[in-house]
Every structure is written in structure tokens, then in C-alpha cells.
Amino acid sequence: MFKTVFNKQRPMKFTHFSRKPYALFACLGREVLVGTLSVATLTYAKAEGISTDVDKANPDSLIRQGETLGEVDITATRAPLAQSRQARMVIVLNREEIQAAPVQSVNDLLKYAVGVDVRQRGAIGAQTDVSIRGGNDEQITLLLNGINICDPQTGHNAFDFPVDISDIERIEVLEGPAGRVYGTSSLLGAINIVTRKPNATSIDAHVEGGSYGYLSLGARGAWGGSRWGQSLSGTFTRSDGYTRSKAGQLNTDYSTAKGFYQGQYLDKDVRVNWHAGASAKNFGSSTFYSPKFDNQFEHSFKTFTALQAETQQGTVHLKPSIYWNHQYDRFELLRGDESKVPFNYHRTDIYGANINAWFDWALGRTALGAELRNEDLVSTNLGNALSRSRHIHGSSRDYVKGLNRTNLQFVLEHNVVTGPLTVSAGLVAAKNSGADMNMRVYPGIDASVRLGKGWSLFASYNSSLRMPSFTELFYSVGGHKADPNLKPEKLRAVEGGLRYVVDGISAKASVFHNHYTHLIDWIDDGTKDDDGNVVWKSVNYGKINALGVEAMTEFDFRKLLPEQHVLRRLNVSYCFINQDQHEGEGIRSLYALEYLKNKVVTTLGLNLWRQLTLDVSYRFQHRMGHYNDLQGELHSYGSYGILDANLVWTAPHYTVYLKGNNLLDRDYVDIGNVPQPGTWVMGGVSIKW
């Protein structure tokens, strides 16, 4: 199913600019390079790529190894290289596979990436923790069209996207430290959501419904010409949920509204892209955060805006970007009742700007980049006391606490391609105002060598760090005691493996070792509050070593056996992880030691008859760790297997589908005391003009 590829500062003033949009960015580039550094992470594992194989007279003519993907080029280096020369691996889920998957959200899609752990507290992506290779939800970078949209308050709400699954062109998952590409927050990897570009005029809409009062409505319109393109989409989704509280109230109900606008300008000299999106979500959070209360509730509202440009010609290639992410959250321990326990309010504004440059010379290809990112939080319970309180819109209360921190980082990378050998080496230097640290340097190197037709060896060493989230630093209510003096996490990782790709067959196997220091976790060390309840503490847990093996094979039967018309594709993937750190006597870990030791993912695609297709997916997961129920009884997570399927009839202007999740009706939990839904069936239709 997946394909593996190696692969608040003051605003600036402009006195004048021409009518061409790239003139604005040229001015911006001069301001940045001559004046203050107001530029941030440039991701060339990227939303719109440049390849060494690009025909400069035709910016859309990008050829991917083995197939044409229009304007798409996936890389895992700071500067773009031809696909066959990449030394890092990126798991790519393309649009065809997204449409075939029996899922309703990005969160569900990621369950089929074997190195990704998706721990849900509710269906349809209501609240999800996503991690990579045994880590936790705070240790990855999340991007939308190459723009960092991580939530520094908490990773729990990071997947509140403004885009519906029907807006997505592809998903890229880079496993392992990616500081040189995505910045230092990508401790264990990164996930980039790339939306469909408005290259042509079209209108499409969908409606679907199913179990537990599920309903989703959405539409998208796009206008595209030779240079300009724009699109606008909107989606509303709701469900009654699959459980009720002891009082008989709905407590896993869910509703969300999303809107997303994007545009682009393209000529032979420059490409300019921009997007703006909003997501408003309400969901009953049952026992998601405390098993003692079964009627919790959460509301979140997020907006995302970004402007990017990229030069298409010249000796030095430039790509500046600016963005603003606004995030608001309200948590209710007792739903709708603030008389006993006050609601928690948080508002975060993230401002970022960046520039990246690369150029070719006699010794190879060199890339330079810089980032400035400011994160500003105001809250009712997170941060330090504000000198002046700020009113909470729509409430009688004020924000009384807050925190502001700025991250500055520089990147240098050099790529050498000679014969069958590719070497990419570089470093990221970072300094954060929220930590008592000087500028720190984190190096990395990737190498690959082609052995013959279809075969290649690869190896890498990379390092990175991650700043604690605001919640890890300051959340000291509701049975939690945070440490505002937490140190940043650090990671060094090595990986090596073998890859084989020929027409119709793709396979790879790798071994990786992760060495964590100052790892952040919430632990129970036996401390109790005045009422005798457990107190969870945020700590730098210490050192952990993790050894893992990952392997996957995909067969495309349309190429291998073109004379038959039933089998389309088969994918089998496996990931094994073992950590050497165990819970000390009297200590219980909340996240760090709860990881997927074994994960198997199998997907089979069939053509049943004419335009009728069936895609069946099975995943088996074995999780380490345990949890206590309300009676204090200890439970191990153990193992479970989930079977999903998607039956689709595809016609030129419409598609009808029937999806089923957890068809074997398994009882399971991803996070202690939060049961997941049983069998869930839904059907729908999408229409395109």
C-alpha cells in the first residue's frame, strides 16, 4: 500500500513592488539576507519539488523513478536530488492509495504505515497521538505543504487539520531524526501532508454516513489556468460516538467543520504558493485524560496561513516562506459544568519565516538554510504569571499565565554524487530562548550505493533535539506535577539497510538503533496527593536504547501479471522494536515505555468486476506496557488484530463506496481505560464535474 522512496517579530515594510508576485519575494529575500533574520525551516522533502531532472522550460515536467507524477518530487535532503540518488527513505502514500484505503481521517491512514504508531482516544481522528519508531506524539514534526504546524502546547491536538482527506494528494513519512531537513523538533521523524494543487478547473462533492450516527458532507471547487490556480473546500463531519457515560449521556460524540483555501502562481522564473485553513472541532472526551471522570469535553479551533515562493532558474535557487498558525483550546473535565472544576483555556500563536538556498559547483551541491520561529502561549494554567492578564473571548475569565520562546537555527548541507555513490552530510545549529543553552550543533550523514539493477545499500547517522511542550513544562493540575526546568530531549540514531526496486516489485529491509538522552516522560513514582490519588510527574527519564528492524515488500500485479485483471497489489510490512530500558521498581511510565514491539500490516487490492474494486487491510499490533483500571487492577496491553475493507465502484464522474472498520469486532485499547469502537460500517458517494 505504501511506497518507499530513498530519497512576533515586527512585520517588514516594503516601499514598492511590481505587479508580479515574485517581486515581493525578491524584496523579501533582500530584506532577510541584508537585515534581520526572519526566516525559518525550508523543507525540501517537499510539497512542490525541484528535481535535477526538471526541464526548466516546463516546470511541471518532473519524472519520478518508474512513473510520472506531474509536479511531484519527493526528497529527504535539504537540497533536491534525483530520486534514484536519495540515501534516506520516505514512505509515500499517494492519492490512489488514499482513495482505496478504508479510512475517514489522516490519523486512520497512518495506521497502515508500519513504522508509525497511532494511539486513538476516539474514532474519526477525534483525538489521536501519532508517533514514529517507538517514540511519542511530541517527538515528530507535522507539516502541511511543507509548513511546520506542530502544536507546542501539546501533541494531543496536533492532528486537527484544516483539510479533509479528500483534499490530500499524498502523505510523506520520513522515519528517523530529520533535523537537517525539517528542523530540530523532528526528533524521530516527520509527516508531511501535501494537498491537491489547483491545476485544472473542477468541482467535486461527497456525502457519506454510517454507524453511530456518522455523517460527513463536503465539497471542493478548483480553478486552474496556465499560470494561476485556486481552490476552496469545506467539510462537516459528525457522529454520536460509540459510548455513553454512566449518566446515559453521549460522551464520545464528535463534530468538526473544516475550510481550506489555496492558490498558486507559476511561470518559468518563479513558483508562488499560499494557503489558509481553519478547523473547528468539538468532541466528548469520555475518560480520555482521566478514568475517574467519564464525561469530559474538548473544543479546539485552529487557523493556518502560509505564503511560499521558489525560484525556478538561476545559479542560486531560493525558497522563502512565512507563516502564522493560531490555535485555541478549551478543556472541560466536567462537561458543561464549570462550578466545580474550572475549564482550562489555552491560546497559542506561532509565527515563522524561513529561507533556503542551494547551488551547484565543482564539488557537488550545497544547501544553506535558516529558521526563526516564535511560539507564544497564554493560558489559564500553563506558563508563568503574566504581568497583565488577557481576556478570554466568549468567557468571563482571563488568561493569567503564559510563555514566549523563540527558536533560531541554521542548516548547512552538502551533497556529492559520483558514479553509484551518493553522500549527503550536514548539520543543524540551534538555540532556543526557552532553554538555558548556547548554540548547539547536531550533525548527520546519509550515504547510499547502487549495487546493480534494482539493488542499493544505504546507511545513515543523524542527531537531533526536541524542546519540551508547554504541557510537559507547566501542567500541574488534575493529578499532574510538571517540571518547568525540563531539559530538551536528545537523540542519536544509526540505520542501515538494503533496497530492491524493479518494475512491479519493491522491497526494503533496515536495522536501526536509537539512543535517547534526557528523554521526557510522565511517571508515577508512588507520590499521592492529599486525597490519596496518584500524581504523575514530568521528568527527564534518562537514557534509553532502542533496536529495531523494519521490512516491507510490495507487488504490483498489474505490471507483474498484466494478462490477469483480478489482482492489483499486495503489500506486507513488519516492524520490530526492542527497548533496553524497563520501569524501575515503584515507577510506572505513561508514554516512554509503552510502544509497539511488533506491528504487521498487510493490504490486498482486487479488481472484482469491471469498475468494482475491493481493498482489504489487516494489521496486527503487540504493545508493551500496562495500565491500572479504576479498581487498581493491572492490565497489559497485549496484542490485537484489526480487519478493514473498502468496496468501491468507480465511474468517470462518480464513485460509490462501502467501508468497514474492525470487521472482526475486536475489543481493544490503544491507551489505557479508553476502549475503541467495535465494527463500524459506512457508505457514501462522491461526484466530480
Give the tens place of pLDDT for each residue, 424-463: 999 999 999 988 778 999 999 999 999 988 999 999 999 9
Q: Locate 109 and state its grid cell.
A: 491512514
Task: Give the phi and the psi of residue 166 in degrees, each rounded to 5.
Answer: -70, -15
d(CA 378, CA 27): 33
Contact (CB, 8 A) for 320 and 301? no
Confidence of residue 225 (pLDDT cuts 50, 70, 90): confident
Question: Which helix (H) or strand (E) is 318 found in, with range?
Answer: strand 316-332
Average pLDDT for residues 304-322, to the nearest whole number?
95
| SS3 call for 81 | coil
pLDDT (0 to 100) of residue 583: 58
- Considering only 13-22, 566-575, 590-599, which range has the smallest mean pLDDT? 13-22
Confidence of residue 85 (pLDDT cuts 50, 70, 90): low
Question: Closest by alpha carbon to 538, among 627, 477, 464?
Answer: 477
The stretches of 444-520 forming alpha helices (DSSP H) are: 470-474
Beta strands, E only, 122-213: 128-132, 141-144, 147-148, 168-175, 189-195, 202-210
Give the model confidence (pLDDT) of 114-142 as tens digits: 999 999 888 787 888 999 999 888 999 99
- Considering only 88-102, 502-516, 609-623, 662-676, which range has the smallest mean pLDDT? 88-102
Residues 112, 116, 119, 123, Cα dihedral to 10°:
-30
pLDDT (0 to 100) of residue 582: 61
Give the model confidence (pLDDT) of 396-411 as tens digits: 999 999 999 999 999 9
Q: Cell 476552496 appears where?
A: 232
d(CA 346, CA 157): 12
Contact (CB, 8 A) for 537 and 525? yes
Which CATH topology does 3-688 take? Answer: Maltoporin; Chain A (2.40.170)
pLDDT (0 to 100) of residue 289: 86
d(CA 247, CA 396): 28
d(CA 324, CA 49): 22
Contact (CB, 8 A) for 229 and 222? yes
Q: Name residue 463's beta-bridge partners.
A: 492
Average pLDDT for residues 563-583, to the nearest whole number?
90
Q: Is the pLDDT of residue 32 over 70?
A: no
pLDDT (0 to 100) of residue 30: 37
Average pLDDT for residues 619-638, to the nearest whole number?
88
pLDDT (0 to 100) of residue 11: 35
106 φ/ψ sector (left φ>0, alpha ψ -120 to 50, else beta): alpha
Average pLDDT, the chain: 85
pTM: 0.87
Percent of the chain beyond pLDDT 90?
A: 65
pLDDT (0 to 100) of residue 76: 61
pLDDT (0 to 100) of residue 69: 32
Q: Is the pLDDT of residue 622 over 90?
A: yes
Q: What is the DSSP string of 357-415?
A: EEEEETTEEEEEEEEEEEEEEEESSSSEEEEEEEEPTTSS-EEEEEEEEEEEEEEEEEE
Give the model confidence (pLDDT) of 48-58 as tens digits: 333 333 333 33
Q: Cell 469530559 appears where?
A: 296
Q: Is the pLDDT of residue 605 over 60?
A: yes
Give the model confidence (pLDDT) of 337-354 as tens digits: 999 999 999 999 999 999
Give the model confidence (pLDDT) of 474-504 as tens digits: 998 878 899 999 999 999 999 999 999 999 9
pLDDT (0 to 100) of residue 18: 39
Q: Cell 464525561 appears where?
A: 295
